[in-house]
C-alpha cells in the first residue's frame, strides 16, 4: 500500500515531490534520524541520503538512538554518526538546530525512544521515508510504501525523483546496496522486478556488490561461530506438526558468550534452511524484555503473529516484537499461536 500525506501545502496544485524539492533548494541544517538498534537498512539509507544531500551543500548530521552493529563499521562516515545514548546533549542540540528532519526506516516516534520528544518539539520540516505498515502522522511529508523491499529502495527513488540520479556514485551505491541486501535477507524475501532493476543500475554505476556482501557477512569472530554452534546444538527445537523451528537464548547465554549488539544477526534464518520448516522464531531474553524475531517462507505471513501476540509488526516474511513476560511464557505463547497462525 502506498501512502502520501501532505500536511503543509505550498500551493493547491503542487505535489509533494515538488514541495520537498523547493524545501531543499537552498542549503539547510538537516538531521537524519533512524530507529534504535539500527540495522543495515537504517544505516545504509541514512548514510546514502546524507551523502546525496551534502552534494547539494546541506549541512547534514545523522543522529541515532543507539550504537550500530560491529559488522557495519566498514561504512565510510559511520564513525561520524551521533549516538543519543552516548551524547544526548549533542544529539538534542543538533535536533533543535535543524531546519529539516528526516525520519528513515521507522514509522512511529516510540522507535527512537527519548529522541522522539525532541523531534516532536522541533519546528523543523519533517520528512518520513519508510516501508513499514501503519505510519503515524508526526511528519509534514510522508513517503511510505509497504511494497518496497527496504527504506534504501525508497531513498533511491527519492534521489531519482529529486532529479539526483547523476549524484549516485559508488559510495552511495554501496550504502543503498547494504540496506537492500540485509533487509531482503540476501534477496530471500521482499523482492520485486523493480528492485533488481535498481540493483542492476547500482552495479552499472560501479557497485562492488561482492565487497559489500563480504564486509557484512564474512566478518565474524571465533565467538560467533561457537555461539551459532551452541544455538543449533543446545537451543534449537523443531516443531514438525507446525513446520516451525525455534531458537532461544537465555540471559546466561548472553553472559557466557559475551554477546553484544549485532552478534546474533542472522541466527533466525538458520532453521529456514530445513526443507520442512516454513516458519522460524528466534527468542532472546534481554535485561528487561524478551525479544522475538520471525521469518517465514512463501505466502505464510508472520506479520500478524508479531502484531497480535508480541506488540510488534514488520513485513510478511520478516517481522519481530517483544514480550514483558518471562522467556518460558513467551516461548509457550509462541507455540500456542502457531496453529492459529497457520490456519
- List pLDDT tens digits, range 143-154: 999 999 999 999
Residues 198 and 153: beta-carbon distance below 8 Å: yes
Per the structure block, which three cell numbers stand in for 303?
506479520
* pLDDT at residue 267 in the model: 95
- 191-249 confidence digits (pLDDT tens): 999 999 999 999 999 999 999 999 999 988 899 999 999 999 999 999 999 999 999 99
Q: What is the pLDDT of residue 341?
A: 82
Q: How many CB atoms lie within 10 A of CB 110?
A: 11
Question: CA separation (Å) from 231 to 6, 194, 326?
Answer: 47, 36, 19
Secondary structure tally for the chain: helices H, strands E: 12, 13
Give the span between the Cα atoms of 279 and 302, in whole angstroms. Answer: 8
> What pLDDT, on the 0 to 100 scale, is given for residue 7?
47
> What are the CB-based long-range contacts (under 8 Å, 24+) for 164-167?
164/52, 164/55, 164/56, 167/52, 167/55, 167/56
Set out the domains of the chain in order of their start, with CATH numbers. 2-217 (3.90.1640.10), 222-342 (3.10.310.30)
Mean pLDDT score, 40-60: 98
Q: Place 13 in a pLDDT band, splitting at 50, 70 and 90.
A: low
| pLDDT tens per residue, range 79-119 | 999 999 999 999 999 999 999 999 999 999 999 999 999 99
CA distance 328 to 146: 33
Residue 5's pLDDT is what?
Answer: 43
pLDDT for the residue numbered 262? 82
Which DSSP category does 224 fall into? H
pTM: 0.88
Cell numbers of 149, please?
A: 523491499
Q: What does the alpha-carbon distance between residue 183 and residue 171 come to, in Å, rounded to a whole number?
A: 19
Percent of the chain exceeding pLDDT 70 equals 96
pLDDT for 21: 96
Q: Give DSSP secondary structure letters for 289-322.
A: -EEEEEEE-TT---HHHHHHHHS-EE-SSEEEEE
279-328: per-residue pLDDT in tens?
Answer: 999 999 999 999 999 999 988 999 999 999 999 888 889 999 999 999 99
Rounded mean pLDDT, 118-144: 96
| pLDDT at 342 (0 to 100) | 79
Digit-coded pLDDT (tens) for 20-33:
999 999 999 999 99
Amino acid at each position: 500500500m502506498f501512502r502520501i500525506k501532505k500536511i503543509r501545502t505550498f500551493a493547491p496544485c503542487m505535489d509533494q515531490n515538488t514541495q520537498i524539492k523547493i524545501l531543499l533548494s537552498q542549503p539547510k541544517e538537516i538531521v537524519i534520524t533512524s530507529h534504535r538498534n539500527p540495522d543495515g537498512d537504517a544505516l545504509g539509507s541514512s548514510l546514502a541520503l546524507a551523502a546525496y544531500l551534502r552534494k547539494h551543500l546541506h549541512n547534514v548530521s545523522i543522529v541515532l538512538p543507539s550504537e550500530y552493529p560491529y559488522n557495519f563499521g566498514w561504512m565510510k562516515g559511520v564513525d561520524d554518526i551521533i549516538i543519543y545514548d552516548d551524547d544526548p546533549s549533542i544529539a538534542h542540540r543538533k535536533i533543535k538546530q535543524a531546519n529539516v528532519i528526516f525520519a528513515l526506516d521507522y514509522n512511529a516516534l516510540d522507535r527512537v525512544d527519548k529522541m522522539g520528544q525532541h523531534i516532536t518539539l522541533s519546528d523543523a520540516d519533517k520528512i518520513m521515508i519508510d516501508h513499514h505498515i501503519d505510519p503515524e502522522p508526526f511528519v509534514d511529508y510522508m513517503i511510505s510504501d509497504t511494497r518496497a523491499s527496504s527504506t534504501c529502495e525508497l531513498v533511491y527513488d527519492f534521489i531519482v525523483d529529486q532529479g539526483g540520479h547523476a549524484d549516485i556514485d559508488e559510495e552511495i551505491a554501496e550504502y543503498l546496496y547494504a540496506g537492500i541486501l540485509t533487509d531482503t535477507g540476501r534477496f530471500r524475501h521482499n523482492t520485486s522486478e523493480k528492485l533488481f532493476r535498481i540493483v542492476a543500475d547500482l552495479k552499472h554505476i560501479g557497485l562492488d556488490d561482492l565487497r559489500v556482501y563480504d564486509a557484512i557477512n564474512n566478518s565474524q569472530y571465533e565467538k560467533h561461530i561457537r555461539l551459532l554452534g551452541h544455538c543449533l546444538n543446545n537451543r534449537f527445537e523443531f516443531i514438525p506438526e507446525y513446520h516451525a523451528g525455534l531458537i532461544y537464548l537465555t540471559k546466561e547465554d548472553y553472559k557466557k558468550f559475551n554477546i553484544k549488539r549485532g552478534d546474533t544477526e542472522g541466527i533466525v534464518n538458520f532453521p529456514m534452511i530445513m526443507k520442512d520448516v516454513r516458519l522460524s522464531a528466534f527468542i532472546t531474553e534481554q535485561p528487561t524484555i524478551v525479544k522475538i524475531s520471525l521469518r517465514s517462507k512463501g505466502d505464510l505471513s508472520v506479520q500478524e503473529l508479531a502484531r497480535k501476540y508480541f506488540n510488534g509488526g514488520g513485513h510478511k516474511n520478516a517481522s519481530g516484537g517483544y514480550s514483558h513476560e518471562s522467556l518460558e511464557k513467551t516461548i509457550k505463547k509462541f507455540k500456542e499461536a502457531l496453529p492459529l497462525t497457520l490456519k
